Amino acid sequence: MKNEKKIVIKNFKLFKIERLDNINIIVTGGEGFIGSEVCNKLSHKGYNVKSIDRRTRGNLKKLNSDFKKYKIDICNYNKMKEALVQADGIIHLAAVSRVIWGEHYANECFDINIKGTRNIIESAKKSEKEPWIILGSSREVYGETNGTPISEEFVLNPVNTYGISKLAAELQVKHYSFQNNSKSMILRFSNVYGDLSDILDRVTPKFILNAFLDKPLKIQGGEQIMDFTFIEDTVSGIVKSVEHVNDLKQKKYFEHLHLLPGEPHSLYDLIDYIKLYISMNIKIEYGEKRNYDVEKFVGNPNKAEKILGFRCKTSFKEGVKKTINLLKKELKENRERVLNKFMEDQKCELL
């Protein structure tokens, strides 16, 4: 049948694996950049997916409706407890999700990223099915590093509000796993980019759009070394994590993993790739380094490969090309819509 895993033969007997549409997965932040793509992917594979988000964000991409959507604020404990009653698993992506937002809206950042995570955990503890939790975290929990690939065991020393809130969320999920004999995973992302559902003020789409609009590309500082991850790879890694944690037989399990390519790139690499695919003169402006920005981070991806069999497939060069083509097509077909959203995303306002 459509939503069944393959029937496997073992010792000449047939074993039918659980139907995927019997697995109820809640995705918090399901209207967001990563969350919307995760909902699409999991529902397409046959899981019973429910998206939870407190708002409907403007999105250039048309999303399918194969999953249910609920307008719920994760800071509302009673609503969350009701939503998670039948959950087999929770993918927790809801957050104040940008470093700059964390600095401008510190109270909201702590409320949503810390208190909201606590509500999810307390709701999960009261759920009928003792759901597993997968938390979307960030490279920001490490703070500043020396730019060489680091493992998941590297010291955690966040330097901004967002990183502090994500570390607090991680610790809560870890505590949930150990205190309640439950399964949970921490997935640390790094500079995810590459789709129309992205926030256009993030560095990759912002640089590309400004290049198309013949506006300068502004670099804050200039010493940045980053680990850029194409959205399709991030989503693939999350799906692999779902399959892994859902298939585990033991009740108690905890792991934290990087979902990233482990390849250092500078902002000048990004600009060079934009120049390669956009036949326009690129202007560059410089500003001072912001004291809350991490300048250097590259993660070691080997642990995710060992545990999940996951490795990023999209090179940065290829990912930038794909992103340029997406935005170029959208500008051609829906220019006013793109420019309006670009302007809104640059206001540094919580959505």
Residue ranges of domains in the chain = 14-194+228-262+296-313
Please give the DSSP secondary-structure letter assigned to residue 148: S
CATH number of 14-194+228-262+296-313: 3.40.50.720
CA pair distance 93, 38, nearest whole angstrom: 10
CA pair distance 116, 113, nearest whole angstrom: 6
3-state DSSP assignment of residue 209: helix
Q: Write the CB contacts of 229 (distance below 8 Å, at least 6 apart in sequence).
A: 189, 190, 191, 192, 193, 259, 260, 261, 312
User: What tens-digit pLDDT sequence spans the chain (351 residues)?
Assistant: 445 554 444 443 444 446 788 899 999 999 999 999 999 999 999 999 999 999 765 566 666 667 889 999 999 999 999 999 999 999 999 999 899 999 999 999 999 999 999 999 999 999 888 899 999 999 999 999 988 899 999 999 999 999 999 999 999 999 999 999 999 999 999 999 999 989 999 999 999 999 999 999 999 888 999 999 999 999 999 999 999 999 998 889 999 999 999 999 999 999 999 999 998 889 999 999 899 999 999 999 999 999 999 999 999 999 999 999 999 999 999 999 999 999 999 887 765
Whether the Cβ atoms of residue 130 and residue 185 lie closer than 8 Å to each other: no
The number of helix segments (H) and strand segments (E) in the chain equals 11, 15
Please count the residues of the chain.
351
Check: pTM over 0.75? Answer yes or no: yes
Provide the CB-side half-sphere exposure for 330 (13 A, CA).
23
Please report the DSSP string for 8-72 in residue order. EEETTEEEPPPBGGGSEEEEETTTSHHHHHHHHHHHHHT-EEEEEESS----SSPPP-SSEEEE-
Q: Write the CB contacts of 213 (distance below 8 Å, at least 6 apart in sequence).
A: none
